Amino acid sequence: MIVLLCLSFQIKVEKKDIQFVIEPRFDKEDLVLNKAKYITLKKDTISITTLKFYISNVVLEYENGTEYKEPKSVHLIDIEELNTLQFQLKKTPDLKIKKIQFNIGIDSLTTVSGNLYGDLDPSLGMYWAWNTGYTNMKLEGKSNSCQTLKKDFQFHIGGYLPNQNALQEVSFSVPDNATTLHLKMDLSKWLNEISLNETNSIMIPGAKAIAMSELYKNMFKITQ
């Protein structure tokens, strides 16, 4: 009797860390809080005082069809805190990346999980309440175009319940042989679509918040 032994060999894939860097811009200028003034296509002159948002559920898709899903993937980006503008994707497969996708905001599963630690800590000012969840995107600033007492505008965009879900998923092709992923965030792509004399405050979940999230997802782009 001839016994055939089938041996299965698993090819070991090397691992590497990938740096993820956020680059805040307003058109061709660096985005600087509290100091610089910018002009939108609607001729609104603005200054930005606060810009914070969540990046979560980061997934890398490779040319061979496999995926890397970042564990415990929640990152609070605060433009005022320079250390939050970069993070590492740890021990990713050393393979050719085809695409990256991630969420802008916090999904419903994470919201109701009861995990209120790290970047999800309510003391960081991004958590509303159990029935409204997290603020996915927080933008505050000033403009003489605003018909408000202090000429300020406030957009706190969130919501996770049915008909209120403002979570946005984005995906981008990745440059060949990239070891650092540069995420350009151009705020002008968002504010150019808004007339601040008409719309200068959204503070609760709902249809207006969802519509606003559709606008701000367009300000992100992966670059070389």
What does the mean pLDDT of the chain come to? 92
Residue numbers in the chain where pLDDT is lower than 50:
1-9
Amino acid 30 reads D
SS3 130: coil
Q: How many whole angstroms separate alpha carbon 21 and alpha carbon 14? A: 23
Q: Over the stretch 82-124, which tens digit does the pLDDT of each residue have?
A: 999 999 999 999 999 999 999 999 999 999 998 899 999 999 9
Length of the chain: 224
Q: Contact at 8 Å (CB) between 120 and 112?
A: no
Q: How many whole angstroms separate alpha carbon 164 and alpha carbon 6? A: 54
Q: How many whole angstroms separate alpha carbon 196 and alpha carbon 211? A: 15
pTM (predicted TM-score): 0.92
Q: What pLDDT does 104 receive? A: 98
Q: Say how many C-beta atoms besides its own lie within 10 A of residue 164's C-beta.
A: 17
Q: What pLDDT does 129 receive? A: 86
Q: Over the stretch 53-62, which tens digit does the pLDDT of each residue have?
A: 999 999 999 9
Q: Name the token pair of 224.
A: 């070389």
The radius of gyration computed from the CA coordinates of the chain, to the nearest angstrom, equals 20
Q: What pLDDT does 11 receive? A: 57
**What is the SS3 string spanning 144-208?**
CCCCCCCCEEEEEEECCCCCCCCCEEEEEECCCCCCEEEEEEECHHHHCCCCCCCCCEECCCCHH
Which among 98, 139, 65 has a CA at the least distance from the CA of 222? 98
